[in-house]
Chains A and B, each alone.
Chain A
Amino acid sequence: MNASISKKICLIGDFAVGKTSLVRRFVDEAFSDDYLTTVGVKISTKRVRLPKGSEVKLIVWDIAGHERLSTVSKTYLQGASGYVLVADGTRANTLQTALALKAQVDPLLHEPPWVGLLNKYDLEAEWEVTATQQQTLLKQGWSLSSAKTGTGVEAAFLRLAEMMLP
């Protein structure tokens, strides 16, 4: 019973942006090229130690990708202390979806801490999100990640955990 603090976080974003892959990279340090769409929600847990020394157990709710929030996913979001918003750099429209989802989630959860991830950075050559767009997004709480190589994944979850702990 060393980490007696647990926090619920959710992963939100369009279909196939890499939510499940990011969780898998973070929790199991593994990756697969296969795409198995999430049905409903998948829950994983991971204990993290923050640089300040405190420990927290993250209860990660990986919610199935949607363009808009369904009633069920709204229920899944309840009680989350923070969320990870994911977009796929190779498909600019997933960024639009992410921003629309954010606008729905924020009032629902009373503007909780969040981090944005522009994922699939290993495919940078195929990116549709332009360099200038990236510059703006990086200033607004987004960062670059690749579930495939692991770049930026753990750091993002840790950053979110730090923001959530009072």
Chain B
Amino acid sequence: MSQHSEYEELQSLLLGNNKQLLQALKARIENPERRTRDVAEVLSAALHLAAQDKALRTALREPMQDAIRDSIRRNPHEIADLLYPVIFPAIRQSIEETLRAFVERIDTLIQQRFSVHALKWRVEAWRTGLPYTEVMLRHSIKYGVEHLLLIQNQSGLLLKHVHSKDALKTDSDAVSAMLTAIESFVRDSFSNTDKERLDRITFGQFMIHLAHGPHATLASVVRGLAPPDYLMRLKELLEDIHAAAAIQLRDFNGDTRQLDAIEPLLQRGFEREYVKPKAKHAASRPPRSLIKRGAMVAGVLLIGIVALSTYRHFEQQGIAALGQRLDAVPGVVVENITHRGDHWVVTGLRDPYAATPEQLLESAGKVGKKITFNLHPYVSLDPEIIFKKALPDLEIPAGLKIATESGMLQLSGQVPLDWYLRLRHTLNETQGSPLLDIRNLQIDLPSAERSIQNLLAGSNVLVTRNADALLVTGNLTPDDATRLQALIGQLSGKLSIELQKTAVTP
């Protein structure tokens, strides 16, 4: 007992007031509530510090994963709502892509239902014994080879490059090197055998197909969806190229002229695979061999198809011609012509001063169906329209040529005398207008001859032509003489009128 108190005494002697402090600390540690509060105060700082070390991540990984999994299982809707803005656009884009391709294909199929292609495919189906739909689908896959690049293995140097006329321009040397780098990268990163190769890369609407050979790789940049056996055909082409020039491929030193010999080979493969993405007018013209084959196959059905497709063909041509004719009308721009019900709808632009829809109908000619116009007003800069706006009261005579140059309307050509006089009258008898250049305008002699003869009807005169001048002979009344004098003055420089053996008699 005394020993104990001795010890306590010693303790208080040594530690003084600290004894109370220790007790307070002890209480604090033993009280879980206090302890929690203490830890909470430093928790975020501690986590921050610990996060610099990998151990925390490792320690947290599993419980976190479990917690997330649990949370998703319990409350999937909340998670779905959170992810919605991220995932939905991606899904939508993917659906749109798929639908677009689908619609495009259906579109072609419908377009070609009655085309000469259909006839060709019926023949092919009949010849091969395949179902018609299969033949049709196989031919309707739309794709076009844009570039073919022959690339030396390893170095990635471009050996030869051919491309379609409308292909996008690229730095083919860089593309070729980059494709090689990508190929090496993928192979070294994901595969440990040399047998696995990268053979397709998709990018937007392009797919790059890669055929690998011992010395070179053939890359084909395809727009659209190529048929499944396309890569196989590409490989065959590459084999042919190797057969023709294996040594040159291997020992290539950067001089592409060494490989000019294989260009036709590549070009041929290129052209063979190229399918025009949009079948336009030219594509619907039946190839000659087909006509022969078509002639061999008799039958009401086929004749029906031929008749229909021919009709379609002419109709298409008629519409194209209609578009061209209307587009040629000054102040009218045709954007497209669509088929709606039993008539054609012409959509486009029309200047208010251009021909009226009624006039357009006349110039449209016969197209078999009714035409309706859906033309929005716009301001045309066509010289003829500008002329109409400047001089709305004057019609445009046949021989008149109108052009615009540096803000001026330039008139030239041969015009009737009466018209010329009216023009001058409209221009207020001035020598011309600041916006109108009539220096090159000429007066049509026969019309002038007639007009002057009429003008001087009250006199006994004869008007004749002499080279590029008019001759007036006979007796003039004083009135006519004055009128003629005025006219000669007006026409000075444009037309010379000579008086010969004329006398003025009252």
Contact = CB atoms under 8 A, between A and B. Distances in A.
A57 interface: yes
B188 interface: yes
Nearest to A78: B154
Interface of B: 152, 154-158, 171, 173-174, 177-178, 181, 184-185, 188-189, 254-257
Contact of A79 (B152, B188, B189, B256): B152
Contacts of A44: 174
18 contacts: A6-B157, A6-B158, A6-B254, A8-B155, A8-B157, A41-B181, A45-B171, A45-B177, A56-B254, A59-B156, A59-B173, A59-B174, A61-B156, A72-B185, A72-B188, A72-B189, A75-B154, A76-B184
A7 interface: yes
A79 B155 contact: yes
A33 to B, nearest CB: 26
Nearest to B171: A45
A71 interface: yes
Contacts, number: 60
B43 to A, nearest CB: 36
A100 interface: no
Given A8-B155, A61-B181, A71 B188 contact: yes
A40 B181 contact: yes
Contacts of A101: none
A21 B184 CA distance: 24
A2 B71 CA distance: 66
Nearest to A41: B181
A119 interface: no
Contacts of A41: 181, 185
Interface string A60-93: 0100000000011001101111000000000000
A8 B156 contact: yes
Contacts of A57: 173
A79 B254 CA distance: 10
Chain B interface, DSSP helix/strand/loop, else mixed? helix
Contact of A45 (B174, B185, B254): B174
Interface of A: 1, 4-8, 40-41, 43-45, 56-57, 59, 61, 71-72, 75-76, 78-81
B255 A5 contact: yes
Contacts of A43: 174, 177-178, 181
A45 B172 CA distance: 10
A40 B185 contact: yes
Nearest to B159: A6
Given A4-B257, A6-B157, A45 B173 contact: yes
B125 to A, nearest CB: 45
A80 B171 CA distance: 19
A81 B254 CA distance: 9
Given A5-B256, A75-B188, 4 more contacts: A4-B257, A43-B174, A59-B174, A76-B181
Q: Which 9 A-B pairs have the closest CB atoms?
A: A79-B155, A78-B154, A75-B184, A43-B177, A72-B188, A4-B256, A79-B154, A41-B181, A7-B254
Nearest to A57: B173
A76 B152 CA distance: 13
B501 to A, nearest CB: 77
Contacts of B173: 6, 45, 57, 59
A8 B177 contact: yes
Contacts of B174: 43-45, 59
Contacts of A7: 254
B169 to A, nearest CB: 14
B61 to A, nearest CB: 26
Nearest to A4: B256
A161 to B, nearest CB: 11
Nearest to A75: B184
B155 A80 contact: yes
A56 B185 CA distance: 27
Nearest to B187: A75
A72 B184 contact: yes
Nearest to B259: A4
Contacts of A5: 254-256
Nearest to B152: A79
A114 B157 CA distance: 19
Q: Which of B155, B174, B254 has the most CB of A within 10 A?
A: B254
B201 to A, nearest CB: 15
Contacts of A8: 155-157, 177, 254
Nearest to B176: A59
A61 B290 CA distance: 52
B469 to A, nearest CB: 62
A59 B157 contact: yes
A81 B253 CA distance: 9
Contacts of A78: 154-155
A151 B213 CA distance: 43
A1 B174 CA distance: 16
B60 to A, nearest CB: 29
A80 B256 CA distance: 16
A95 B254 CA distance: 31
A106 B116 CA distance: 63
Contacts of B157: 6, 8, 59, 79
Nearest to A1: B256
